[in-house]
Structure 1
Amino acid sequence: MIKIIIHGCNGKMGKVIAKLAAESPDFKVVAGVDKNTSPLDFPVYSDLKEVKEEADVVIDFSYHEAVPDMVKAAAQKKLPVVIATTGLSEEELKVIEEASKEIPIFKSANMSLGVNILINLVKEAAKILQQDFDIEIIEKHHNMKKDAPSGTALMIADAINQVLNDKKEYVYGRHTKTEQRKPNELGIHAVRGGTIVGEHQVIFAGHDEVITISHSAQSREIFGYGALKAAKFIINQNPGLYNMEDLVKKG
């Protein structure tokens, strides 16, 4: 049985992880960390440093500003970490990279297997269509989401740009623009409303034809299942930085 500490346990995704772990014989939540220390079915602390329970892994669905202190504490405790928090700054990413020299860290802006398959498909399409098709990304999320564009949209854009040798220039919406679209643009657009869990579309627009590759999340549980799979994967790895591509390769 894998013993989990949930960092951000009183958030929406933290509660999803707790529910899924409780329903599985393979996982047990031994403690939680959250600025809201309201008790759950396990002890809840305000800081990972305070956690007394023995654990195998930390799963993080929190806020980007809380991640650096969390990974530092995890490194001190020699605990592997799964990071699903988005909106991380360059400075925060550097802290994660530094900690990964001491512990294995799994980081992905989206824990859905489906989204990561979409990324693989989009990369192949971009290689073939890059000369004659314009590429645009549209992402939609609920009205409580704080970061825009989504971490997943940026992950998709970065994957496209990687296979195109960084030829594309990111354009975030086109408000106030009064000029023709440039061939090297990659448009990224965010929609916020209602209770949309998460939708991502990649549009390849050519002459008289449009190809759209899309993914729609129907519930938050798909991200929870992905995080638990990542936890099972990361506890057996050496120190380093891992992502969903490593998990997909493992099968």
Structure 2
Amino acid sequence: MLKIINHGCNGKMGRVISRLVSEKSDCKIVAGIDKNPSSSDFPIYTSLKDVKEDADVIIDFSFHSAVPELLKNAELKKIPVVVATTGLSDDELCTLKEAAKTIPIFRSANMSLGINILINLVKEAAKILQNNYDIEIIEKHHNMKKDAPSGTALMIADAINEVLTEKKEYIYGRHSKTDTRKENELGIHAIRGGTIVGEHEVIFAGHDEILTISHSARSREIFAIGALKAAEFIVNQKPGLYDMNSLLEKG
């Protein structure tokens, strides 16, 4: 029985995690953490340091500023963490990397299997098309999403840059620009509206030819399912930083 602490349990994704786990027989949520505690089937605390229950893993869908304290207390309690929160600053990423020296940490800006396959496809396309095609990324999310561009869009852009002979400069929208597009640009554009769960589109635009690779999330369940798979994976790992490629390679 996998014992889980749900960090951010009263958020949109935290509630999805709770629902999915309640339908499974091989895992259970032993405690939740949220800045706004409420009644639940499990005890809820405002900080990991106050949690009394034993746990095998923490699943984090919270807000980026809450991650450093979570990691500090996870290190003290020696509990592996799945970090699915996006929008981490450079300092917060450094904290995460330091914590991974003492506990196993799984971190991905997108827990969807499909989006990670998209990234692999985009990397292969970028290797072949980099000299003759302009590359643009468009991401769409619901009107309550706070960070822009999305962590997934940046993850896609970084993956593209990894395989290019000459790195691209990220251009976030083109408002007020009056010059033509430069060859070394990689455009990233954010759309916020309605209840869009998450859509990402990578456009390779060449002379008289356009290749588009896209992914559309139809519900938040796909991210929760990925996070649970990551939790099952990370509990058996040594201290270190792991990502979706680690899980895909395991098969």
Distance 1:134 1:40 in 2: 50
- Which letter maps to 1:39? S
- Which letter maps to 1:249? E
CA-CA distance at 1:101 after TM superposition? 0.6
* SS in structure 2 at match of 1:170: strand
Distance 2:129 2:81 in 1: 37
Distance 2:166 2:245 in 1: 20
Is 2:172 the partner of 1:172? yes
2:100 corresponds in structure 1 to: 100
1:3 corresponds in structure 2 to: 3
22-31 or 194-203: bigger deviation: 22-31
CA-CA distance at 1:27 after TM superposition? 1.1
- Which letter maps to 1:84? A
Is 2:185 the partner of 1:147? no
Distance 1:40 1:158 in 2: 39
Q: Over the residues paired in the alignment, what is the CA RMSD in angstroms? A: 0.6
2:181 corresponds in structure 1 to: 181
Return 5+ residue gaps in structure 2 as ranges. none
- Which letter maps to 1:102? T
Distance 2:138 2:211 in 1: 13
CA-CA distance at 1:165 after TM superposition? 4.5
Distance 1:158 1:180 in 2: 23
2:206 corresponds in structure 1 to: 206
2:29 corresponds in structure 1 to: 29
Runs of 4+ deviating beyond 4 Å: none
* SS in structure 2 at match of 1:117: helix
CA-CA distance at 1:40 after TM superposition? 1.1
Return 5+ residue gaps in structure 1 as ranges. none
CA deviations on 1:66-93 (whole Å, 9 max, x unpaired) are 0000011001000000000000000011
Distance 2:119 2:39 in 1: 39
1:237 corresponds in structure 2 to: 237
What is the total number of aligned residue pairs between the two structures?
251
1:68 corresponds in structure 2 to: 68
- Which letter maps to 1:94? C
The percent of aligned pairs where both chains have the same amino acid is 73
User: Cα 1:165–1:22, aligned 2, differ >3 Å: closer, same or farther?
Assistant: farther
Is 2:103 the partner of 1:109? no
TM-score (norm 2): 0.99
Distance 1:177 1:69 in 2: 40
* SS in structure 2 at match of 1:40: coil
CA-CA distance at 1:25 after TM superposition? 1.2
